[in-house]
């Protein structure tokens, strides 16, 4: 039996990664690279980079010109409510706060906006345990 986080990730093909780092040693970079290697379309969101993991970088979710299934967040909990609002505004299907990130306000915004919501879980770990790939 799969859990809801696994179902959400399995139903996602395009993932906007908010807080994707330029530093390959950072978790956000490694997790996004693993997801990309398994066929997920990664769209980096970063305040100043132009390209990460071979993909064009956008300054905010609202700048992304294509549909996004999942917004994967690598930012401190206090920064996540505006990201949740943007995720709702762009019509994303789900908001996912990475391992160690919990926000009751983001959970409320996502829920009221009709988004599926996951917090305090790592997309790469869920992907590995469920052996998910997009092909």
User: Which pairing describes strands 116-118 and 41-45: parallel, antiparallel, or unpaired?
Assistant: unpaired
Task: With respect to residue 67, please indicate whether it lies within any of the assigned structural domains.
Answer: yes
Length of the chain: 135
Tens-digit pLDDT profile for residues 38-48:
999 999 999 99
* Domain interval for residue 112: 4-130
pTM of the model: 0.96
- Contact by Cβ (8 Å): 61, 45: yes
pLDDT tens by residue, 75-123: 999 999 999 999 999 999 999 999 999 999 999 999 999 999 999 999 9
Distance CA 72, CA 60 (A): 13
Q: Is 135 within a domain?
A: no
Q: Determine how β-strand 51-52 pairs with β-strand 41-45.
A: unpaired
Instruction: Report if residue 40 sits inside a domain.
Output: yes
| Residue 37 within a domain | yes
Max CA distance (Å), the chain: 41
Count structural domains, the chain.
Answer: 1
Specify the CATH number for the domain of residue 18: 3.40.50.720
- Residue 69 CA to chain centroid, in angstroms? 9
């Amino acid at each position: 039996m799969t859990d809801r986080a696994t179902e959400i990730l399995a139903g996602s093909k395009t993932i906007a990664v908010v807080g994707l780092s330029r530093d390959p040693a950072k978790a956000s970079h490694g997790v996004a690279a693993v997801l990309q290697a398994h066929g997920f379309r990664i769209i980096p969101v970063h305040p100043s980079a132009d390209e990460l993991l071979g993909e064009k970088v956008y300054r905010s979710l609202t700048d992304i010109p294509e549909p996004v299934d999942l917004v994967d967040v690598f930012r401190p909990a206090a920064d996540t409510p505006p990201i949740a609002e943007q995720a709702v505004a762009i019509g994303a299907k789900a908001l996912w706060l990475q391992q160690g990130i919990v926000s009751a306000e983001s959970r409320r915004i996502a829920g009221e906006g009709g988004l599926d919501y996951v917090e305090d879980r790592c997309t790469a770990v869920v992907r590995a345990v469920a052996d998910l790939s997009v092909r």
